[in-house]
Amino acid sequence: MELATKYDPSKVEEKWYQYWLDHKLFKSEPDEREPYTIVIPPPNVTGILHMGHMLNNTIQDILVRRARMKGKNACWVPGTDHASISTEAKVVAKLAAEGIRKTDLTREAYLEHAWDWTRKYGGIILEQLKKLGASCDWDRTCFTMDEKRSASVLKVFVDLFNKGKIYRGVRMVNWDPKALTALSDEEVIYREQQGKLYYLRYRIEGEDGYAVVATTRPETIMGDTAMCINPNDPKNRHLRGKKVIVPLVNRAVPVIEDDYVDTEFGTGCLKVTPAHDVNDYMLGEKYSLPSIDIFNDDGTISEAGEIYIGMDRFEVRRQIVRDLAAAGLLEKEEDYTNKVGFSERTDVPIEPKLSMQWFLKMEDMARPALEAVMNDTIRFYPAKFKNMYRHWMENIKDWCISRQLWWGHRIPAYYLPEGGYVVAETEEEALRLAREKSGNPGLTLRDLRQDEDCLDTWFSSWLWPISVFDGINNPDNEDINYYYPTNDLVTAPEIIFFWVARMIMSGFEYREKPCFYNVYFTGIVRDKLGRKMSKSLGNSPDPILLMDKYGADGVRMGMLLSSPAGNDLPFDEALCEQGRNFNNKIWNALRLVKGWAVADDVPQPDSARVAINWFDARLSAAVEQVDGELEKYRISEALMTVYKLFWDEFSSWYLEMVKPAYLQPADAVTYGATLAFFEKLMRMLHPFMPFITEEVWQSISERKAGESIMVMRMPDAGRKDEKSVADFEVVKQIVAGVRSVRLERNIPNKDTLALNIVSGEHLSEYNAVIMKMCNLENIARADKDAAAASFMVGTAEYAVPLGGAINVEEETGKMEQEIAYLEGFLRSVMKKLGNEKFVANAKPEIVANERKKQADAESKIKTLRESIANLKGE
């Protein structure tokens, strides 16, 4: 096969991806092999690929491809999430652009628009993942609102309701005034905001005096139903048992007492607004206070507020401050920094609001899920996230699972005409239960009204590891029994509560097993300035354009080079260039080897035999190292190990040692061994860079149709020869020493030199390699020649005779500099060894290592002094 002069990813990547698809190499069905399973964190159905997806899916693909090459039956299940809030926002915006309001449509008509949008834009991101090289079993693609997943969600809702774990009630919820829906606590992002603290005067009923309250939210005073003081606060004791008048609305409210009030905050007087503050709500419940909900769903003031009706809450804040000041009821205002909750989806400040919602009890479900992580049945990488998980699980609150949206799984609760409701998977079952509950056999479906709300999107995705194998509807089917529990989950730490914790809970609830065994948390992709990449900042490159420019392999490598688990990724496009350069290095190495002429009758040189023996040992050591790194999910480090093995050891050393002389043929044994090494290196690298490794593997020798590197076995560690690996590091230093002499004295590489062993141990079995790499005519033991350039390797001294061309003053100056360095090093070692505590308490091997450093330094100093004396003729 004639190899192209340059490696062109655009011609290679699409070709091999289609080849893999055509030969169904990603396909998985249950068989006798050990399964390896990953389920994709389902991206939003109408989303497009961003840098976080690139990182996450590259890591998943590495794990899946490696498992496949380890002989496992690897199954990577792809899919998308219906993303209620974000999809609904996009559909509403699209309708608005067409002059249509959601409120003008029936639910059915609106859902038609939503499905049209999903069909048009849904799945784009999955196609983009193919460009990345994702080896998913695309025949298994799922969608959280497809038939099986939807049936699973309804079945689970009914089951949990029947178990008494789902209930309906009025509670304080996080309300999103833009999306017009309740949010769970995990969907609220708290940010520090610079605001004001307003000191308001509440007139004491029947007196001339005032009680002063400090608040950041004067716009909520219309909902005040009490003032609260701390019973242990002497400065406010005069308010006990009295009433105060709410400013502007002139409503008298009681002064209550509770230890909850912080006497150091403001004046120690707290306005109590049970309908619009979580803590005030608890006080309201405790003291049976009325609740006045002053906000409409869109954040404007309702008629219950009495004043400012119809105005936006922030407009009211500005106006009410002016009105309070004009009425003499604003004592002062101060700059103040406080944390404000924002909707994770719409980025508007949330409004605490009393609302009738559906909730799932979490405390009992959290117990086994917490235990599984804390006892390492489920392992987190990095483990630092265990503490965050434990804190949340130990303080878990009931999950608000209802959303005031139309796009999603509609809550399967049906209200009876005379009151009450039933919960059922189907309308037919609901009707049967309604007739039974009401005792009215004449009820029809038209008499029942289904709940208008949808379920939180996470209520479908928490079932994902089970529902993708239809394990809810058919709990004993072949797929769920074979592929579940899954092996690894790769996700972002910001959804540890939204998704990871809840999946673990559902696993124990419905399979009595963990849903996965390992969770790898990726970091956040940031720009060079440390900012999180986002559309709004305009600092996020388009992944598709990056892959067009550098190739998918180049981008994969670029992202991984600086992406340790759980740590943020400071992305720099130069890393992708480094990935592309590595592609070119591999390709050029292949062209070099395939360009050799080969002759069966040429004997194998000693240098090649030694090189093959060394690289075989070095390759085995690297295989063992990569295996160890990947077992610990140190994926970046594993890639760097393979990268250095190919670039530094194989290309820079091995190929230089074995390549035939100019215009001479290679011997068949060395050529065969070199191709075998090349193939093993490609197999090691394949999970990280799948496209170029397939191209190279297919080019090394003739392959049959359907054969692929991706189903070849990963190399085993093989023979262990630590001595060969260590010895060759010494050889490298000898070669480097000779090359330094050439460089310093401008001796051309074509000129042969000699190498003298002046003192110390020498690895003579590597002479053939050293002679070839340094272009030497001989290596021999000899006394120190004054006209020679010397260098040290360990405690051995070498000299390159220069035939009188040596500058004695320059040479001795270099040696004296080295002696000065060694004496400084020796002093630091002696300081340690002179410390009795160190010698007594350090491990024996550490003390022994320090004593060896002492002996080596002393030996080198002695040798260098002798060399200086010889040069000076002393």
Looking at residue 534, what is its pLDDT?
72
pLDDT in tens, 691-748: 999 999 999 999 999 999 999 999 998 888 999 999 999 999 999 999 999 988 888 9
User: What letter does residue 540 receive in the DSSP assignment?
Assistant: -
* CA separation for the pair 653, 728 (Å, rounded): 10
279 close to 226: Cβ distance less than 8 angstroms: no
Looking at residue 227, what is its pLDDT?
96
User: Nearest to residue 494, comparing CAs of 392, 395, 400, 409?
Assistant: 392
* CA separation for the pair 427, 4 (Å, rounded): 64
Is it the case that residue 805 has pLDDT exceeding 70? Answer: no
* CA separation for the pair 744, 746 (Å, rounded): 6
DSSP structure string for 298-319: TSBB-GGG-SSTT-BHHHHHHH
* CA separation for the pair 117, 110 (Å, rounded): 11
448 close to 414: Cβ distance less than 8 angstroms: yes
716 close to 626: Cβ distance less than 8 angstroms: no
Of the pLDDT bands very low, low, confident and very high (cuts 50, 70, 90), residue 187 is confident
Looking at residue 873, what is its pLDDT?
64
pLDDT in tens, 465-484: 999 999 999 999 999 999 99
- Tokens linked to 837: 């505590």
Residue 673 burial by CB count (10 A; 0-12/13-18/19+): exposed, middle or buried? buried
Is it the case that residue 550 has pLDDT exceeding 80? Answer: yes
- Tokens linked to 41: 């964190």
| Beta bridge mates, 776 | 753
* CA separation for the pair 457, 630 (Å, rounded): 33
Is it the case that residue 536 has pLDDT exceeding 70? Answer: no
421-423 and 413-415 beta bridge pairing = antiparallel
* CA separation for the pair 610, 792 (Å, rounded): 23
Please provide residue 230's backbone torsions phi and psi, each rounded to the nearest 5 degrees. -85, 130
Question: For 503-520, what is the mean pLDDT?
Answer: 97
Length of the chain counted residue by residue: 874
pLDDT in tens, 246-283: 999 999 999 999 999 988 888 999 999 999 988 899 89
Is it the case that residue 858 has pLDDT exceeding 60? Answer: yes
pLDDT in tens, 216-229: 999 999 999 999 99
Is it the case that residue 867 has pLDDT exceeding 80? Answer: no
The owner of tokens 């309300």 is 175
Is it the case that residue 302 has pLDDT exceeding 70? Answer: yes
Is it the case that residue 411 has pLDDT exceeding 60? Answer: yes
User: What letter does residue 104 receive in the DSSP assignment?
Assistant: G
Biggest distance spanned by C-alpha atoms of the chain? 122
Q: Which amino acid is at 19?
A: Y
Looking at residue 532, what is its pLDDT?
80
Of the pLDDT bands very low, low, confident and very high (cuts 50, 70, 90), residue 171 is confident
Of the pLDDT bands very low, low, confident and very high (cuts 50, 70, 90), residue 287 is very high
Q: Rounded to 5 degrees, what angle do the CA atoms 743, 744, 748 make? A: 40
279 close to 260: Cβ distance less than 8 angstroms: yes
Is it the case that residue 535 has pLDDT exceeding 70? Answer: no
Q: Can you say whether the dihedral through the CA atoms of 832, 836, 838, 840 is positive or negative?
A: positive
Looking at residue 583, what is its pLDDT?
96
pLDDT in tens, 631-652: 999 999 999 999 999 999 999 9
Q: What are the angstrom distances between the C-alpha of 128 and each of 43, 47, 328?
A: 12, 11, 63
Looking at residue 866, what is its pLDDT?
75
Question: For 495-509, what is the mean pLDDT?
Answer: 95
User: What letter does residue 873 receive in the DSSP assignment?
Assistant: T
Average pLDDT of the chain, as a whole number: 92
User: Nearest to residue 89, comparing CAs of 784, 97, 206, 134?
Assistant: 97
* CA separation for the pair 553, 9 (Å, rounded): 8
Q: What are the angstrom distances between the C-alpha of 528 and each of 50, 210, 326, 523?
A: 17, 55, 51, 15
